[in-house]
């Protein structure tokens, strides 16, 4: 039954991205922000698609690395996120998100038939991966490359070519999925191109740091706690066992007290799936005997 209630901001986990050209400091900046978020290097994991480049910053602290190799399917990324959350990681850095979209573009171009209709084989896979990020019970920081170009800038009376970043190499609109989006330039300066926190919008460019992460963590913790009534409604909205599992992991403080409700919803979901299967089998049987 629908129920109108007063709006309130719940405690949340940050979903943030850092975009910039090669050499703009995306990985380093993400690691510093991650430490500010959790204050524990051992609770940070980097899903590394950049040929072990994340290990170049091991001098910062004893964080974890999960290397990914081609093909960079969205399903492989999702599996890596599950590995990190199951290991109790508080911050997951995806470095980089660009490889997932490049894989899907190559996959789309390899399909036979109508190019437009073939997107129906691509878009659901990407959307499922986006939901995996958004529903992740950990903070997530994703890096994305931008296409590079050069502009002429005047320095000391001479025109000098300077590398700049252009369009993010990901699906159009991907930025809208994140709560906070930082754009980094080649000098490692960051500006917030999207900011739902209100902490950085309209502020001068800055270097991302541990203090940046602490500010974000304070904002995340400032929201109201999710009540048991809130969680019960969320449980009833789950239509798959996977959704139920992700919700269960997202609220460890309720794992014991709300376990019976999770188990009952799981039984209901499986029962509905069995009913659908039986109905399909019956229709197949009827079709087979009608000829």
Structure confidence by residue, pLDDT tens digits, 176-198:
889 999 999 989 999 999 998 88
Are residues 260 and 139 both part of a single domain? no
Residue 61's pLDDT is 95
Mean pLDDT value across the chain: 88
- Is there a domain that residue 101 lies in? yes
pTM confidence score: 0.73
CB-based burial of residue 119 (10 Å sphere; 0-12 exposed, 13-18 middle, 19+ buried)? middle
Dihedral sign for Cα atoms in the order 118, 73, 171, 149: negative
Backbone angles phi, psi at 195, to 5 degrees: -155, 100
pLDDT confidence of residue 6: 61
Integer Cα distance of 103 and 72 in angstroms? 6
- Residue 88 domain-assigned? yes
pLDDT at 213: 97
Give the residue numbers spanning the domain of 25. Answer: 15-221
Q: What pLDDT digit, counting tens, does each position of 3-25 carry? A: 666 655 667 899 999 999 888 99
Give me the CATH number covering residue 131. 3.40.50
33 and 165 co-located in one domain:
yes
What is the distance in angstroms between the CA of the first residue and the CA of the last residue of the chain? Answer: 45
Give pLDDT, residue 82.
Answer: 96
**Nearest-angstrom CA–CA distance, 9 and 55:** 36
Q: Which of 4-18, 114-128, 171-185, 210-224 has the lowest mean pLDDT?
A: 4-18
Q: Tell whether 245 and 205 lie within a shared domain.
A: no
The pLDDT-based confidence of 270 (bands split at 50, 70, 90) is: very high
Same domain, 216 and 239: no
Whether residue 211 sits in one domain with residue 232: no
């Amino acid at each position: 039954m629908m129920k109108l209630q007063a709006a309130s901001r719940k405690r949340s986990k940050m979903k943030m991205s850092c975009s910039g050209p090669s050499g703009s400091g995306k990985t380093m900046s993400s690691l510093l922000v991650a430490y500010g978020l959790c204050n524990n290097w051992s609770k940070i994991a980097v899903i590394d698609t950049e040929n072990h480049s994340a290990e170049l910053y091991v001098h910062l602290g004893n964080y974890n690395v999960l290397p990914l190799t081609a093909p960079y399917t969205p399903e492989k990324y999702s599996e890596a996120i599950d590995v990190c959350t199951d290991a109790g990681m508080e911050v997951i850095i995806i470095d980089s998100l660009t490889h997932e979209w490049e894989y899907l573009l190559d996959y789309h171009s390899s399909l036979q038939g109508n190019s437009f209709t073939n997107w129906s084989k691509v878009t659901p896979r990407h959307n499922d991966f986006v939901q995996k990020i958004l529903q992740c019970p950990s903070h997530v920081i994703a890096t994305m490359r931008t296409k590079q170009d050069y502009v002429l800038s005047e320095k000391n009376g001479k025109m000098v070519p300077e590398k700049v970043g252009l369009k993010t190499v990901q699906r159009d609109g991907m930025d809208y999925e994140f709560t906070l989006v930082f754009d980094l330039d080649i000098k490692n300066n960051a500006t917030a191109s999207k900011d739902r926190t209100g902490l950085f919008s309209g502020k001068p460019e800055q270097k991302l740091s541990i203090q940046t992460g602490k500010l974000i963590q304070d904002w995340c913790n400032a929201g109201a706690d999710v009540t048991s009534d809130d969680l019960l409604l969320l449980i009833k909205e789950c239509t798959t066992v996977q959704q139920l599992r992700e919700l269960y992991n997202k609220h460890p403080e309720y794992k014991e007290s709300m376990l019976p409700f999770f188990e009952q919803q799981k039984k209901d979901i499986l029962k509905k799936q069995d009913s659908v299967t039986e109905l399909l089998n019956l229709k197949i049987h009827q079709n087979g005997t009608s000829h």
